[in-house]
Amino acid sequence: MRPWLLLASLLTLLSLAPSARPASAHELCFAGKTEYCLADPFSDYWEANGGLAVFGYPISAAAEAVNPDTGALHLSQWLERQRFEDHPANAGTPYRVLLGLIGKERLAQLGRDWAAEPREVSQPGCRWFAQTGRNVCNQQPAPCRPGANGDEVCTAGVGFLNTWESNGLKIPGLDAYARSLQLFGLPLTSARLETNSSGDTVITQWFERARFEWHPDNPGQLKVLLGRLGSEISAAPASDLLQARERWASHGSRSYDFELSINCFCPPEYTEPVIVAVRAGVPVAVTSAASGRPVDPDRRSWYERVDTVDELFALIEDAIARDAARLAVSYDQTHGYPTEISIDYDFRIADEELGLQVGALRLVP
Residue 358: strand pairing partners? 260
256 plus 304 within the same structural domain = yes
| 274-333 pLDDT tens trace | 999 999 999 999 998 888 899 888 777 778 888 899 999 999 999 888 878 778 888 898
272 plus 342 within the same structural domain = yes
359 plus 306 within the same structural domain = yes
260 plus 358 within the same structural domain = yes
Q: What mean pLDDT value characterizes the chain?
A: 85
Residue 237 lies in a domain: no
Q: Which residues of 330-340 are buried (b: 16+ CB within 10 A; e: fewer)?
A: bbbeebbbbbb
| 6-16 pLDDT tens trace | 444 433 333 33
Count of domains in the chain?
3
282 plus 198 within the same structural domain = no
Give ∠ CA 294-300-304 in degrees, rounded to 5.
Answer: 135
Which of 109, 134, 165 is at the close of a domain? Answer: 109
Residue 326 lies in a domain: yes
**Average pLDDT value for residue range 20-39:** 79
101 plus 45 within the same structural domain = yes
Which of 91, 109, 127 is at the close of a domain? Answer: 109
Residue 241 lies in a domain: no
| 146-194 pLDDT tens trace | 766 666 666 678 999 999 999 999 899 999 999 999 999 999 999 999 9
121 plus 84 within the same structural domain = no
pTM, entire model:
0.65
| 210-255 pLDDT tens trace | 999 999 999 877 899 888 898 888 777 788 888 889 999 998 789 9
DSSP 3-state assignment of 114? helix
DSSP 3-state assignment of 115? helix
What is the predicted pLDDT for the residue at 10? 36
Cα distance between residue 322 and residue 231, in whole Å:
20
* Residue 4 burial class via C-beta count within 10 angstroms: exposed 0-12, middle 13-18, buried 19 and up: buried
272 plus 214 within the same structural domain = no
28 plus 55 within the same structural domain = yes
Range of the domain at 176: 114-227
Which of 109, 135, 158 is at the close of a domain? Answer: 109
126 plus 102 within the same structural domain = no
